[in-house]
Amino acid sequence: MTSILRVEDVTKAYDNGFVANDGISLSVEEGEVFGLLGPNGAGKTTLVSQIMGLLRPDSGQILYRDRMVSIGDQALKRRMGYLSQRSFALLDFTVREAILFTGRLRGLTSKAAMRQCSELIELFSLESCADRVVVQLSGGQQRLASLASALAGTPETLILDEPTNDLDPEMRARVWATLRERRRSQGTTVVLVTHNPLEAEQVIERLGILMTGRLIAFGSPGQIKSNMDDRVRLEMSFRDGFTFDALALPAWIPVTSRSGNRVVLAVGRERAQPIIAQVLDLIPLASLDDFRILTPTLEDIYLQAAAGAAVTMERAS
């Protein structure tokens, strides 16, 4: 695969001394869905603002198709669609105007822009508010209007900062389906910025995890999981009247957590099969309400990373 975007040792600090990005290096491959994951305040939006040419790095460089990103690069803006957390640039336009004008600015003819505008309004069910000013809309409608504008003109790369905030589950599913279809049919590259690991895991192929301005993990979800947590988890829920202590499990079988009738065991992958088999052999099936065998989720890894970053900050202070 070919890297369409490269961030090379980028550092950015604000006037108050806060270091938002601290030596970040990563790459995004052409045609992939890349996730930039981290809590609020991790430096995600600052990094995206530099990728879009809205902020200048203090050091390091950002390259888009081997061309250095610079402030006010109009060619870059025509090739990249950006959905920010807040849609100030669109608030004084109607939904139809915002989508139509964005398409024209990205090089569409008037006829093509009008046709695509109608398609996007229908796609995101915006017909009822198409001729209302964006600032008058609900939070979810504003988000959809902004996303439709980001898609206008068919940019080759989409930078989406928390794209499904304020959306109901049905519309979230439609957004993800739209992004997957854009990638499949047009080869669109998507950089998804989010603090929601459960949502990100559904769509991303590779990701970087930011904590306190630093990139602490980079790779596919599977790679990051295996590097940070190689355990397999057995979750069991017992019916009322059954006592887990009655199993008299050997002391070397690790009980990770207990809460009411729910018990979780977490064991290393290489030891998982014999331990889980032994536990299940000891449990009367009639006592089980439910059980699941799981590998770590991206949320598990995210929480571990956050805890580790907090410990590092505490030691540093």
Q: Residue 283: its pLDDT value, please?
A: 79
Residues 86 and 120 in one domain: yes
Element (DSSP H or E) covering residue 208:
strand 206-211
For residue 144, is it within any domain? yes
Residues 133-164 pLDDT 10s? 999 999 899 999 999 999 999 899 999 998 98
Residues 8-62 pLDDT 10s? 999 999 999 899 999 999 999 999 999 999 888 899 999 999 999 999 999 999 9
| Domain limits for position 239 | 230-295
CATH number at residue 28: 3.40.50.300
**CB–CB of 10/62 below 8 Å?**
yes
Residue with tokens 């980028």: 10
> Distance between CA 169 and CA 167 in Å, rounded?
7
Least confident range from 159-163, 216-220, 292-296: namely 292-296
Residues 172 and 42 in one domain: yes
pLDDT classification of 300: cutoffs 50, 70, 90: confident
- Quote the pTM value: 0.79
CATH number at residue 271: 3.30.70
Residues 304-314 pLDDT 10s? 766 666 555 55
Q: Residue 305: its pLDDT value, please?
A: 67
Percentage of the chain exceeding pLDDT 90: 50
For residue 65, is it within any domain? yes
Residues 95-116 pLDDT 10s? 999 999 999 999 999 999 999 9
Dihedral of alpha carbons 28, 119, 90, 128, sign: negative
**Number of structural domains, the chain?**
2
Residues 205 and 242 in one domain: no
Strand 214-219 with 206-211, pairing: antiparallel
Residues 13 and 111 in one domain: yes
Q: Residue 73: its pLDDT value, please?
A: 84
